[in-house]
Amino acid sequence: MGPPIRRFIVLGAGGHGRVVADLVRTLGYDVVGYADADVGRMGTVADATGARVILTQTELVACGRGERPWPRGASAIALGIGDNGARARARRTLAHDSLPALLHPRAWVSGAARLRAGVVVLAGAVVNTGVRIGDGAIVNSHATVEHDCLLGSDVHVSPGATVCGSVTIGDESWIGAGAVIIPGRRLAKRCVVGAGAVVIRDVAIDATVVGNPAHPLTRVTRHRDAALVITSEPAYAAAGGVRP
């Protein structure tokens, strides 16, 4: 068994990264610096404590693979990338044992829930019994994930959202702030549920739904004759549900 983890590098120096850095410090660990995909941010101050961007994302991956030494005694990575797709791509390059799950002390997480590598659960969130959450997912401030839900990898449940019991959400889906998903619904991969939406049906892959009750997002397109045509995405799944 290796030495206890005490020092983290936060991957992602934007707003969500700063929130995750605060979480790391609240848990009693040190943030030695940030890594970021934007090489132009190297050396810049990333947060109010004076912590700087000290590595590129590529350099951090090399540390995780043992190809270069960890800087400043670090031994773990906190995922601080808010964008689901970008977080998923970064996470897949990193070793699981360098990505501990981070649970805020003022969150409620059932002992019967199962959280995989790199999961972040923020203050005021509730994760109830029987929940399973995949690698790199985010349960943001005051979000609720009720009993027996299955959240895929790199899902983001935004602040104040409520995922009722036995809901399945596919990889890289985003549940907007204050949204509600009623019990038993199935959302496929890469869905977007708009802020405040109430989802009462299953949702198909790559779909965006908004409103109460949630409906497919309409798009406005301009044809060659300059006429405007409003169309809807095929957002709702056929009867029988969808596979995430």
CATH code for the domain in which residue 192 is found: 2.160.10.10
Q: How far apart are CA 73 and CA 185, in angstroms?
A: 45
From the list 49, 18, 25, 53, the residue with the least C-alpha distance to 37 is: 53
Which own/partner pairs from 49-58 qualify as long-range (CB within 8 Å, at least 24 positions apart)?
Answer: 49/21, 49/25, 51/21, 53/13, 54/9, 55/9, 57/11, 57/90
Cα atoms in the 13 Å half-sphere on the side-chain side of 142: 5
Instruction: Tell me the two tokens of residue 55.
Output: 């590595």
Instruction: Give me the pLDDT at residue 242, please.
Output: 36
Same domain, 189 and 123: yes
In a domain, 224, yes or no: yes
List pLDDT tens digits, range 90-120.
Answer: 999 998 888 999 999 999 999 999 999 999 9
pTM of the shown model: 0.88
Last residue of a domain, one of 98, 124, 142: 98
Buried b (16+ CB within 10 A) or exposed e, 203-231: bbbbbbbbeeebbbbeeeeeeeeeeeeee
Question: Three-state SS for 197?
Answer: coil
In a domain, 238, yes or no: no
Same domain, 52 and 136: no
Same domain, 61 and 94: yes
Instruction: Tell me the two tokens of residue 45.
Output: 């101050």
Which residues partner with 151 through β-bridges? 133, 169
List pLDDT tens digits, range 4-42.
Answer: 668 999 999 999 999 999 999 999 999 999 999 999 999
Instruction: Give me the pLDDT at residue 137, please.
Output: 98
Question: Three-state SS for 139?
Answer: strand
Same domain, 17 and 31: yes
- Side-by-side strand order, sheet with 150-151: 114-115, 132-133, 150-151, 168-169, 186-187
CATH code for the domain in which residue 26 is found: 3.40.50.20
